[in-house]
Structure 1
Amino acid sequence: MSDSSHNSPASSASRRIQLLAHGPVPKTLFSLAAPAIAGMLVLAVYNVVDTVFVSFLRDTTAIAATGIVFPLFQLIGAVGLTFGMGAASVISRRMGENKYKEAEQSGATAFYSSLAAGLLLSLIGAIFIEPILRVFGATDSIIAQGSLYGRIILGGSVFQILNMTLNNLLRSEGASLYSSMGQILGAVLNIILDPIFIFVLDMGITGAAVATIIAQSVSTAFLISFYLRGRGAINPLRPGSVRINLPTYRAIMALGAPTLVRQLLGSVSFGILNNAASAFGDAAIAAISVTMRIFMLLLMALIGLAQGLQPLVGYNYGSGNIPRVREGIRVVYITAALVGLVAGIIAMIFAPGIMRFFAPQDPDVIRMGSMAMRYMAVVMVPTGLLLMFGGIFQALGDGRSAMILAAGQQGGFLIPLVIFLPKVLGIHGVFLAQPAGFLFSFFIGLILIRKSSHALSKAERELSAAAP
C-alpha cells in the first residue's frame, strides 16, 4: 500500500522526481552526475590540498606522514559512505514505489547512526592514534608528525562522516547540485585556511589537519541547512523517523556493507602497501602517497559518475521502467571508458612532470612516483568500468554482487598481491600490486554484470506480461 500522503514532495522536490522519471536519460544523468563528480573531486581535494601545502615545507617525512594517515582518511569516509550510499539506494527505490515514509525512515536511521559512529571514531582516534598508525606502516621517523596530523583528523571525523552521509541522502532525491555546493564550500575554505594555519600561524602539518576539520564542519552545517529549511522530499533529521530494527538496518547495510568492506580492505591493503614500500625508504612511501592521491582524483570523479547514475537507475528500477535503466547504464559505460583512456594517456606521458610538482626537492620520489603512475595508467579503462559495475549493483539493490566485487577488488586480489609481488619484483612489485588488483577485479565484474543484465531482461519480460 502506498504512503505517498506522508511528507509528499514540495514543488522543488517534485521537479527533481519528475526529472528522474521522465527527463531525457543522457541529460538527466549528467545533470545528476556533474555535481556528484564535482563533489567527489572536492572530497579528494581535501587530502590532496594538504599534501600540496605540506610539500612546500620541503620535508619528505611530512609528505610521507600525510600518506600514512591517508588510509584513515579513507576509512572515515567509508563509514559515512556505508550509511549514506546504503540508505540512498533504499530511498531512490522507495520513492520510485511512491513510499515516502519508508524512504524517510531509512534516511533518518542512516543520519543518526552515522552521527553515533563519528563520535565513537573521534574517541578512538584521540586515544589510540599511534598504534593505529604503526599498523598502517608508520616508521620511527614518521610517527611523530603522523600522530599530530592523524589525531586531529580522527578527532574531527564526525564531520566527515556526517558530510558523506548527507551528500548521498541529498543525491538520492536528485539534489546533487546542493550536495556538491556544500562540498565545494568546504574545499574552498580548506584551500584558504591551509596556508594560514601551516605557514602564517606556523603550525606545520598540524595546521593542515586543523584547516581540514574546520572546513568539513562548515560544509556539514551547510548540508544540514537544506533539511532545516524544509527543501527535501524527506527529512532525515526528524528523530521520530529513526527505526532501530533489523529490517531497516538490513536494507541499509545490504548496499552499504559492500562500500564498507571495500574501503576497510582498501585501508588494510594500503597499510600493507606502505609497509612494503617502507623497505625502500621514506621516498618510496612518499611516492606511493602522491601517486594514490593523484589517481584518487580520477577515481573520485568516476565514483561521482556512478553516484549520478544511482538515483536515476534506482528510481526507474523501482517504478519498473527498465528501458530507462538500460539507457543510463549504456551512457555511463561509454563515458567511463573514454575518461579512463584520456586519463591513462595523460598520466603515461606527463608522469615525471606531475611528480615534480609534488616533490621538486627529491629525485628519488620523482623517479619512483613516475614508475607507479605509469603502472596505474595502463589499467585506467578497466578501472573506470569496474567502478561503474559497483554503482550499478548498488542502484539495483544487488547487495550480493556488490559485496563480491568489493571483497575481491580490495581483499581477494589486492592484499595477496601486495604481500607477494614485492618479494618477487622488489619496488616494481609494490607499484604493480594496485593496478593488478583492479585488473583482476574487472574480470570478476564482467561475470557479475552479465548476471545483472539477465535479471533486468527477466524483469522486463515479467512487466510486459503483466501489462494490460
Structure 2
Amino acid sequence: MSKGYANAKIEMMARGDVGRALFTLSAPAVAGMLVMSLYNVVDTLFVSLMNDTAAIAATGIVFPMFQLVGAIGLTFGVGAASVISRRLGEEDHEAAERTGSTALYSALILGILFSLFGLIYMRSILTLFGATESILESAVLYGRIIIGGSVFQVLSMCLNNLLRAEGASLHSSTGQILGAVLNIVLDPIFIFLLDMGLAGAAVATVISQGIGCFYLLSYYLRGNGALHPLSVVHFRPIPAICGPMMALGVPTFVRQVLGSISLSFLNNAAGEYGDAAIAATSIVFRLFMLLLMSLMGVAQGLQPLVGYNFGAGNIPRVRETLRKVLVTTVAFCTVAGVIFYFFAPGIISIFASRNQTVREIGTLALRLTAVVLVPTGLVLMFGGVFQALGDGTSALLLAAGQQGLFLIPLVLILPRIFGVAGVVAAQPAGFLLAFGVGLLLFVRTKRMLSEREEDSGPTER
C-alpha cells in the first residue's frame, strides 16, 4: 500500500496533468508555509498584547539568529530535494536514498553544533544583531529558549524538503500546519494564563515545533515513503554524495545567512531611531514573510515537478510548468500588493494601536513593500527554478544579490540620505535590483531549455 502510494506520486509528476500536478504539490506547501508564517505573525500579535514595545522588538532581534540555525536544515533539505527529484526521474533510486539519509543526519549534527554555539555566545550575537540596552535582556531570555529547542526546526526544514522531493507534499504541509495551529493555541496559555510573558511565547514555539517534527518523522517511521532517509546504512558523507547536494544547498544557505546579516544591519539602522523603529520594521517583516512563505510554497511545489521531468528529459513539460507558475505568481502578488498598499494603516494598527510612531513608520514600510511584491515574487520563482534544474551557480548569484550585494549597501547608504524612510526602503529596493539580475539569468535558462528541447526532439507531456 505504501509503495503504491509513493509510486502514484511519482506517476503524477511524470505523466499527470501539469496544472493538477502543480496544484497537488503546491497547494499543501502554500498552506503549510502560510500557516507557519501566520503563527509568526500571531506570535507577534500575542506579544504585542503585553503592551511592551521592547518585547516586540526583542522577537525581531532574535529572528535572524533563529533563521541562521534553521538555515542548516533548509540547506541540506533544498539541496537534497533537487538531487533526489532528478535522480528519481533518472530511475537511480540508490543515489536518491544515499542523498536523503546523508542530508538528514548531516543537518542534525550541524544543527546541534550551531545551536550550542548560539547558546554560549547568545548575548554577544544579539548585541551584534542590533539589540539595544533596553531590549537585550528580553532578547536573551527569548533567544535562549528558542535556540535551545531549534533542533526541531532544523530537522523539520530538512524533512519538509525530502518529503516534497518524492511528491509527499500533503504530509509535509500537514506537519507544518499542525505545529502552527498548536503554537497559536499554546501562545495565550503560556503568555497570559501561566503568566510567563515573553518566555511563554518561546516555550509555546518550541513545544509546537517538536510535535510537528515528530509528525513529519512518522511518515518514514511507518514506511510510507519511496525513500528511507532514517536508515543509517545510507548515510554517506562523501564528496560524490555531498558535492551535488551542496552545490544546490549552498545558495539557500548564502541567502539565509546574508538575510540574517542584512536583517541585523537593518535592526542596527532602525535602532538609531529608537525601539519604535525596530518594532515597526519587525512587524512589517513578519507580514512580508507571510506573503514570502506562501510564494515559497509555490516555489517548493514546482521543484519536484520541474526536477523530475528535467531529469527524465521531458522539456516541454518543464516549460509548461514554468509558464503556469509565473502567471500565477504575477496575479497573486498584484492582488496582495493592492491590499497591502491601501489598507496599510489599518493592518499596522492591529499590532500597534497605542504607539503612533510605530504606526507611521510601519505604514510607510508596508506600502513600500507592496509596490515591489510582483518582482519579489518572481525573484523567488526564479530561484526555485534554478535549484530544480541543478543550476547552482545561477541560484547562488541570485541569492547573493538579493540578500547581500544589494541589500547590505542599501541599508548602509539610504538611511544617511532619507533617515528612517531610508531604513524601511532598503529591503524593497534590494528586491527590485535582485529582480533585474534574476530576469537576465532566467532568460539564459529559457535559452538552455530551448536548446535541450531541440536536441532531444518531441517528448510526451
> What TM-score range do you get, normalising by the shorter chain?
over 0.9
Aligned to 1:383: 376
CA spacing shift, 1:352–1:244, aligned 2, 3 Å: same
For residues 392 and 169 of structure 1, the distance between their equivalents in structure 2, rounded to whole angstroms, comes to 17
Contact between 1:93 and 1:318, CA under 8 Å: does it hold in 2? Answer: yes
CA spacing shift, 1:28–1:465, aligned 2, 3 Å: closer
CA spacing shift, 1:318–1:12, aligned 2, 3 Å: same
Aligned to 1:232: 225
Aligned to 1:109: 102
1:170 to 150, 163, 173: 163
Q: What per-residue deviation string (whole Å, max 9, x for no partner) do you get for residues 299-351 of structure 1?
A: 01001001000000000000010001000000110011111111110011000
User: Structure 1: any 5+ residue segments left out of the alignment?
Assistant: 1-7
2:86 to 90, 93, 100: 93
Contact between 2:107 and 2:154, CA under 8 Å: does it hold in 1? Answer: yes
TM-fit CA distance, 1:359 = 1.0
How do residues 311-460 of structure 1 correspond to structure 2 at under 5 angstroms?
311-460=304-453
Give the letter aligned to residue 122 of structure 2.
Answer: I
TM-fit CA distance, 1:44 = 1.6
Give the letter aligned to residue 165 of structure 1.
Answer: C
TM-fit CA distance, 1:369 = 0.1
How do residues 177-216 of structure 1 correspond to structure 2 at under 5 angstroms?
177-216=170-209
Aligned to 2:18: 25
Q: What per-residue deviation string (whole Å, max 9, x for no partner) do you get for residues 217-251 of structure 1?
A: 00000110100100000110000001111121111
TM-fit CA distance, 1:31 = 0.9
Q: What per-residue deviation string (whole Å, max 9, x for no partner) do you get for residues 346-402 of structure 1?
A: 011000101000111111101110000001111001111111000000000000000
Contact between 1:60 and 1:286, CA under 8 Å: does it hold in 2? Answer: yes
TM-fit CA distance, 1:451 = 0.9
Mapped pair 1:141 → 2:134: yes
For residues 57 and 415 of structure 1, the distance between their equivalents in structure 2, rounded to whole angstroms, comes to 32
Aligned to 1:461: 454
Give the letter aligned to residue 65 of structure 2.
Answer: L
For residues 341 and 26 of structure 2, the distance between their equivalents in structure 1, rounded to whole angstroms, comes to 27
For residues 305 and 442 of structure 2, the distance between their equivalents in structure 1, rounded to whole angstroms, comes to 18
CA spacing shift, 1:454–1:59, aligned 2, 3 Å: same
CA spacing shift, 1:465–1:46, aligned 2, 3 Å: closer
For residues 36 and 242 of structure 2, the distance between their equivalents in structure 1, rounded to whole angstroms, comes to 26
Mapped pair 1:122 → 2:110: no
Contact between 1:54 and 1:62, CA under 8 Å: does it hold in 2? Answer: yes
- Secondary structure in 1 matching 2:457: helix
For residues 49 and 74 of structure 1, the distance between their equivalents in structure 2, rounded to whole angstroms, comes to 18
Give the letter aligned to residue 174 of structure 2.
Answer: M
User: Structure 2: any 5+ residue segments left out of the alignment?
Assistant: none
Give the letter aligned to residue 281 of structure 2.
Answer: I
TM-fit CA distance, 1:76 = 2.4
Aligned to 1:251: 244
For residues 47 and 72 of structure 1, the distance between their equivalents in structure 2, rounded to whole angstroms, comes to 15
TM-fit CA distance, 1:276 = 0.4
TM-score (normalised: structure 2): 0.98
For residues 461 and 80 of structure 1, the distance between their equivalents in structure 2, rounded to whole angstroms, comes to 38
Question: After TM superposition, what 4+ stretches of structure 1 lie above 2 angstroms from structure 2?
Answer: none
CA spacing shift, 1:465–1:58, aligned 2, 3 Å: closer
TM-fit CA distance, 1:9 = 7.6
Aligned to 1:4: none
Contact between 1:193 and 1:211, CA under 8 Å: does it hold in 2? Answer: yes
Contact between 1:121 and 1:155, CA under 8 Å: does it hold in 2? Answer: no
1:300 to 293, 297, 320: 293
Contact between 1:90 and 1:252, CA under 8 Å: does it hold in 2? Answer: yes
Q: What per-residue deviation string (whole Å, max 9, x for no partner) do you get for residues 397-421 of structure 1?
A: 0000000000000111000000010
Q: What per-residue deviation string (whole Å, max 9, x for no partner) do you get for residues 35-65 of structure 1?
A: 0111112332342222111011011110010
Contact between 2:2 and 2:223, CA under 8 Å: does it hold in 1? Answer: no
Mapped pair 1:267 → 2:268: no
TM-fit CA distance, 1:192 = 1.1
- Secondary structure in 2 matching 1:244: coil
